[in-house]
């Protein structure tokens, strides 16, 4: 039996690409990041690789504190050593 190669999580991809950890927010398991060219590229690639629909799995909304657009990526936040 062949095992699929483990893919990097979305959170890990964002951190590895240089997205600031201080700008990663969450509510329970939902991941919130600001809409930038970097986050759009990474989230789009991640959705394509996993067969997800971007406007379903990572919706956009206006942050009520900053007024900036953010992505809400459902079930993509977790705490672990690899996020440090």
pLDDT digits (tens, 9 = 90+) for 38-68: 999 999 999 999 999 998 999 999 999 999 9
Which pLDDT score is estimated for 78?
86
Kind of pairing, strands 58-62 and 69-73?
antiparallel
Residue 29 has pLDDT above 90, yes or no: yes
Whether 73 and 79 have beta carbons less than 8 Å apart is answered as no
pLDDT at 2 (0 to 100): 52
Neighbours of 42 (CB within 10 A): 20
Entry pTM:
0.84
Distance separating alpha carbons of residues 31 and 12, to the nearest angstrom: 12
Q: Is the pLDDT of residue 15 over 80?
A: yes
Radius of gyration of the chain (CA): 13
Q: Locate the DSSP E strands across the chain.
A: 25-27, 30-34, 58-62, 69-73
In this prediction, residue 81 carries a pLDDT of 61
């Amino acid at each position: 039996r062949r095992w699929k190669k483990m893919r990097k999580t979305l959170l890990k991809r964002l951190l590895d690409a240089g997205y600031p950890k201080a700008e990663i927010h969450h509510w329970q398991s939902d991941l919130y990041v600001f809409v930038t060219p970097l986050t759009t590229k990474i989230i789009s690639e991640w959705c394509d690789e996993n067969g997800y629909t971007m406007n379903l799995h990572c919706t956009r909304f206006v942050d009520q504190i900053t007024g900036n657009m953010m992505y809400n990526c459902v079930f993509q936040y977790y705490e672990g050593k690899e996020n440090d």
